[in-house]
Amino acid sequence: QLQASGGGLVQAGGSLRVSCAASGRTFSSYDMGWFRQAPGKEREFVAAISWNAFSTHYADSVKGRFTIARANAKNTVYLQMNNLKPEDTAVYYCASRWKSDDDYARGYRYWGQGTQVTVSS
């Protein structure tokens, strides 16, 4: 199970950190990803981190503003979002897949329930 939290309302230019807590004893063997879905739009990839945290990957739209990190001892993955823009408004979902070298924007099997992030202008 994946449980996302930390969403909220923030002004443009502000920061927010969302978290995703995973249950189970094999968290450290899973790649983790963040996706988002804005109203009327398809879900899109935001960021991903490999099972061992050796590699991170970002959508072009968030590069330089968002940072993904994980704490395997806490079974938690984080998404630090800085310099937020109104177009970042969406429901943010965390997802996991068994460790793989495949495209980090695809192949996720398990999904959390999402947390709303709203950025006001």
- Residue 28 in this model has a pLDDT that exceeds 90: yes
Other C-beta atoms lying within 10 Å of the C-beta of residue 48: 25
Q: What is the mean pLDDT of residues 52-58?
A: 97
Of the candidates 31, 32, 35, 21, which has an alpha carbon nearest to the alpha carbon of residue 93? 35
Asked if residue 36 lies in contact with residue 46, where contact means CB atoms within 8 angstroms, the answer is yes
- Residue 86 in this model has a pLDDT that exceeds 90: yes
Classify residue 6 as exposed, middle or buried by CB count within 10 Å of its CB (0-12, 13-18, 19+): middle
- Residue 24 in this model has a pLDDT that exceeds 90: no
The distance in angstroms from the start CA to the end CA of the chain is: 34
